[in-house]
Structure 1
Amino acid sequence: MTYCVGMMLRRGLVFMSDTRTNAGLDNISTFKKMTIWEEPGERVITLMSAGNLATTQAVISLLDERSKLPEDRTSSLMKAPSMFQAACMVGDTLREVIGDLTDGGQRADSGFDATLILGGQIDGSPPRMFLIYPEGNFIEAGDDTPFFQIGEIKYGRPILVRAFDPDLTFESALKLLMVSFDSTLKANLSVGMPLDFFCYETDSLEKRHVGRVTADNERFQTISKGWGEALKQALDTLPDVGMESI
């Protein structure tokens, strides 16, 4: 399993993903689930993946190979005229890979499913972000849906719903995501460190703020411990519930 989050802020886009994959309790590995394509000054496109590892790696490999084709505007992310067209390309590629793996044409078998978050900016248009389903269709983030999650989403969602604000700084957004991921890490062994992140600043058209948070990262440990203590203190401040009132 995995956990990935993409958020739209007024300042730009923020992405974070874990790196754990597993095929049983005795077969746990680390794989990067965030891929970034960049043409400085022209476009930056980020893709995060959750689901069957063979599917997601095949999709990324195909997109990467096709993006190196200098004149192919129909299947190259580096030639897509808009982020919408890029989302269409990624959706078509995902559907193609799942169809090949299942030998069933357009039908997505659950054993080969994958879900993707695609976000970025192409010069001349604003940043956009999409959630792409195994069938190849997708939805776009907006004011009503400013963040997307894929993978093991339920444990880290409550803090995002309560604390997300489009005016967050990148620093505050990363802190919020660390709390969300910490909650997921503590609740589900199929999500694991290290965590990859990318903060994209609107109109920069550059891959600037990219990093990895390891298990021994001092700042992450401080946030994890502080969040746990803050929850306990908050619980203590709530009024007691008498048995007779239940």
Structure 2
Amino acid sequence: MTYCVAIKLQAGLVFLSDSRTNAGLDQISSFRKMMVYENTGDRFMVLLSAGNLSISQSVREILQVTRLNCSDGGEPITIWNATSMFDVARVLGAAVRRIQERDGEALQRSGVDFNVSLILGGQIKGEGMRLFQVYSAGNFIEATAETPYFQVGESKYGKPVLDRVISPETPLDEAAKCALVSMDSTLKSNLSVGLPLDLVLYEEGRFESDKIVCIDEHNPYFRMVRESWGERLRAVFDSIEDPAWNGGQTDVPIRVEPHRNQHLKKITGPEEKLI
């Protein structure tokens, strides 16, 4: 499995992925899930992938040569000449469908689902930054101000901190820190996600990035984040008052009458009914 997250902000984009794949407890390997496409001064794009490794690798392999015919008979659209990120997402969707047409039936006969989830984000000169999530059918949705991030893979463990911290106004470095905390929560709770990590920050309007880093278990900043988050989370937990079951001095009693419901009823014998 894997975990990837991408965040769209007013200041830029943040991309983070792990590198673990597994086909059982005794078949664990590392494969990068992130691809960066950059034509300095013209376009900057990042692709994240999760799901069946053979499918995602095949999609990435043919993405650069996939072409969409123009309705006006002009030059076919590729990821390198598209004038919008929407068209790049269309090209990616076409690449997914092409692999499905080629391999889907054979996979189905072998009892393997056609499973791939992709995140595509970036900026092309002439328009603003955009972020898309692409599904196994090749269809996609776009991030909005209300939902400024996408996750693929083991997303549930890292979602709470993103929901509490991330908004379009979040500074780029703060969002990167939040993404790393989100990843740490996932690493802590799921063995199918593992180091090393790939982290990319893109600043709006640059059409290039030099903020690309591979993070392993020896990375000083990530080690600090892991230790600090664990310690301070425990400190906040310890600062919350325990429930006072036996009364006493408290401003937050737990034994109170609910406004609209009743307390749970005990069944004390075979003759009693729940309703």
TM-score, reference length from structure 2: 0.83
**Helix, strand or coil at the partner of 1:4:** strand
**Helix, strand or coil at the partner of 1:124:** coil
Alpha-carbon deviation of 1:110? 6.3
**Helix, strand or coil at the partner of 1:103:** helix
User: Partner of 1:147 in structure 2?
Assistant: 149
RMSD over aligned CA atoms reads 1.9
User: Partner of 1:214 in structure 2?
Assistant: 216
Alpha-carbon deviation of 1:98? 2.1
Alpha-carbon deviation of 1:199? 0.7
User: Partner of 2:193 in structure 1?
Assistant: 191
Contact 1:2 1:21 in 2 (8 A): yes
2:95 corresponds, among 93, 96, 113, to 93
More helix, by proportion: 1
1:158 & 1:137 partners in 2: Cα distance? Answer: 26
1:56 & 1:202 partners in 2: Cα distance? Answer: 28
| Alpha-carbon displacement from aligned partner over 1:177-217 (angstroms, at most 9, x marks no partner) | 11100000010000000110111111101132111111111
Paired residues for 1:62-73 under 5 Å? 62-66=62-66, 73=75
The residue type equivalent to 1:35 in the other structure is: M
1:229 corresponds, among 228, 231, 235, to 231
User: Partner of 2:249 in structure 1?
Assistant: none
The residue type equivalent to 1:134 in the other structure is: S
2:172 & 2:97 partners in 1: Cα distance? Answer: 33
1:86 & 1:145 partners in 2: Cα distance? Answer: 21
The residue type equivalent to 2:63 in the other structure is: L
The residue type equivalent to 1:202 in the other structure is: E
The residue type equivalent to 1:117 in the other structure is: I
Contact 1:74 1:80 in 2 (8 A): no
TM-score, reference length from structure 1: 0.92
1:130 & 1:22 partners in 2: Cα distance? Answer: 26
Unaligned runs of 5+ in 2: 68-73, 247-253, 256-275
User: Partner of 2:261 in structure 1?
Assistant: none
User: Partner of 1:55 in structure 2?
Assistant: 55
User: Partner of 1:3 in structure 2?
Assistant: 3
Contact 1:73 1:80 in 2 (8 A): no
**Helix, strand or coil at the partner of 2:214:** strand
**Helix, strand or coil at the partner of 1:111:** coil
User: Partner of 1:156 in structure 2?
Assistant: 158
User: Partner of 2:136 in structure 1?
Assistant: 134
2:207 aligned with 1:205: yes
Contact 1:114 1:134 in 2 (8 A): yes
**Helix, strand or coil at the partner of 2:173:** helix
Greater Rg over alpha carbons, structure: 2
2:96 & 2:148 partners in 1: Cα distance? Answer: 23
The residue type equivalent to 2:165 in the other structure is: A
The residue type equivalent to 1:119 in the other structure is: G
2:211 & 2:171 partners in 1: Cα distance? Answer: 13
User: Partner of 1:170 in structure 2?
Assistant: 172
* Runs ≥4 residues deviating over 6 A: none
1:95 & 1:124 partners in 2: Cα distance? Answer: 28
Alpha-carbon deviation of 1:165? 2.8
| Alpha-carbon displacement from aligned partner over 1:109-145 (angstroms, at most 9, x marks no partner) | 8622101000011100001000111111110011111
2:112 & 2:77 partners in 1: Cα distance? Answer: 26
Paired residues for 1:109-120 under 5 Å? 111-120=113-122
Contact 2:16 2:197 in 1 (8 A): yes
Contact 2:196 2:215 in 1 (8 A): yes
**Helix, strand or coil at the partner of 2:44:** strand
| Alpha-carbon displacement from aligned partner over 1:65-116 (angstroms, at most 9, x marks no partner) | 448xxxx953520011210011011011112212321228xxxx86221010
**Helix, strand or coil at the partner of 1:225:** helix
Residues 193 and 175 of structure 1, relative CA distance in 2, 3 Å threshold:
same
Contact 2:85 2:122 in 1 (8 A): yes
Residues 132 and 181 of structure 1, relative CA distance in 2, 3 Å threshold:
same
2:227 & 2:39 partners in 1: Cα distance? Answer: 39
